[in-house]
Structure formats: C-alpha cells, structure tokens
C-alpha cells in the first residue's frame, strides 16, 4: 500500500470523483453528456466514447489534486491510457488516488435488498489493479427496505469481499447504498450502521476500509462510523439528488466527504468548447469541494 496515498485519503481535503459507469449505466451517462445512442453502433464504440468523456474530465485543469482526492474507475478505464499512460499511472502522477469498481452489478431484489452478483475473477482483477497503480476498490449493494436479515446479508457480503481485497494490499470502499426513495430510509440506516459497526469491530489493526453511504436522513447518523479507527474515510454518494440538494445534505454530516458521479458531470456537454467545459467542471468541482471540506 502506498503510504502517501493512504495519508491523502485519510487526512486530505477534497472529495472523490466517481467515473465508474459500467456497461449498463454508460448509455445514460453519455446521453447526459449529449452523446446520443445513434452516434455509436456497438459496445466497443460506446466505451470509446465514454473514455473520451472521462479523459476530457481527468485532463481538465479544473480537475485538480487540490480539490480531487481520488477517482473511482471502471475496469475498462483502468486498462486504457490517457496521454500515453495507463489511467491509474496518469492519475497517480497527477496526485490523485485511483480506485477501481470491482463488482459485477446487482442481483435481483430479495429480502428488501440487492446483493452483489458473484465476482468470480476478483483475485485476478486485484492482481492487475496492483500492477496498474490502483490504491483501492469499490463494490455496491442496494438496500430498499429496513429488513434486518437482508441488511445483515448485504454487510456480511461486503466485508467478506473486503477482507480479500485488504489481503491483496488494497483498501476497499464498501458501498451498501440505501435507496433515497425508500419510505423507511432512516430505519434502514439505523440497522445498517449497527451491522457495519459489528464488522468494523472485528477487523484487526492492519485491516482498514472506506465506506461509501447514502447521505443519511438524520444528520450525523453515521458519526460512530466516521470516528471508527478502522475507517479511513466515509464518503457519500449523491444517490439521485441534484448537486445542490446533495451538497446541502452533505454539509450537515461532519467528517463525511462527497463521492459524486452524476452530480459532478451534470452540466458537462460534448459540444462545449474547452473553455466552457473547464468552466462548468470548475463550478461543479468547487461546489462539491466546499460542501465536503467546510465542516471537516
């Protein structure tokens, strides 16, 4: 593990940019960027288009290590290059910590939750990630209802994979997202916090994780997680909130920083000039940065 990257993630001021849209979410991300489905004819061309978008974001002068602590990448992005360097190397050289999305998507809903699908090639992916200068990983599950057995299963699965990731020398971002539209969101968050605490307390002093959580209904509901010695950082997903809404809710939670995706890229467009693009990205970056650091 890179000690300077660990220190940046633990103590740095800023936020994590989530640029990890996978096959299922890429068309929507491209559409939001102004690239319609009729502009590519197959999956390879689609991924070329989204890599162009990500490259434009990452290479922008507005995408600064003074504001951006880390970036979550899709697996294909890790294997592609930016300006002649593998993406992880490019980011590390820029002073930004690279992470990799390793989950294979969500299983069907059962017991009020969606577990992760199996990750059969995880060990090989982690080996390649280490070669590509990746610092950590990210895995997403979703909680729809306050079903105790379902939430317990979600957290158990996350930490089971998380321990394998730690053993490979990387830091896992554990992401049990709570659906922001759930009618009993706060109750789900109470159960989730308790279950995560149980697993954190079982980790050794050499085992550290990050947590990526929906912004809680009750301010500072995850205070015990933020303060836990085994937690490097708690980051928040925007979860479908607008950027302004997500920023305002984030400000209520001490010690939690952003890890936004759609809320970061919402005003970016393929037909913007470089000046317009950089200005729109700077506005987004600055607002999310301010929401992340002003109360930490």
Q: How far apart (Å, rounded) are the C-alpha atoms in residues 235 and 255?
A: 9
Q: What angle do CA 199, 151, 109 make, to 5 degrees?
A: 140
Annotated catalytic residues are 175, 212
Residue at token pair 């990210």: 138
Which pair of structure tokens corresponds to residue 33?
Answer: 């960027």
Cβ(170)–Cβ(198) below 8 Å: no
């Amino acid at each position: 593990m890179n000690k300077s990257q660990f220190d940046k993630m633990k103590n740095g001021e800023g936020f994590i940019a989530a640029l990890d849209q996978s096959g299922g979410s890429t068309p929507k991300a491209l559409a939001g960027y102004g690239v319609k489905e009729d502009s590519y004819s197959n999956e390879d061309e689609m991924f070329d288009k989204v890599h162009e978008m990500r490259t434009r974001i990452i290479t922008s002068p507005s995408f600064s290590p003074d504001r951006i602590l880390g970036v979550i990448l899709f697996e294909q992005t890790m294997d592609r290059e930016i300006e002649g360097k593998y993406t992880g190397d490019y980011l590390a050289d820029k002073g930004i910590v690279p992470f990799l999305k390793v989950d294979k998507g969500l299983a069907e809903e059962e017991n009020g939750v969606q577990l992760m699908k199996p990750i059969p090639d995880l060990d090989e992916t982690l080996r390649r990630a280490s070669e590509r200068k990746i610092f950590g990983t990210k895995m997403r599950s979703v909680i729809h209802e306050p079903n105790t057995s379902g939430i317990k299963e979600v957290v158990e699965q996350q930490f089971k994979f998380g321990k394998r990731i730690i053993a490979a020398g990387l830091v896992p971002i554990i992401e049990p997202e709570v659906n922001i539209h759930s009618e009993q969101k706060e109750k789900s968050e109470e159960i989730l916090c308790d279950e995560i605490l149980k697993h954190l307390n079982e980790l050794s002093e050499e085992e550290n994780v990050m947590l990526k959580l929906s912004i809680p209904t009750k301010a500072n509901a995850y205070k015990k997680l933020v303060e836990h010695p085994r937690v490097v950082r708690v980051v928040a997903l925007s979860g479908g909130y607008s950027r302004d809404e997500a920023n305002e809710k984030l400000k209520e939670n001490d010690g939690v920083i952003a890890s936004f995706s759609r809320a970061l890229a919402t005003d970016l467009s393929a037909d913007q000039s470089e000046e317009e693009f950089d200005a729109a990205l700077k506005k987004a970056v600055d607002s999310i940065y301010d929401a992340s650091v002003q109360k930490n």
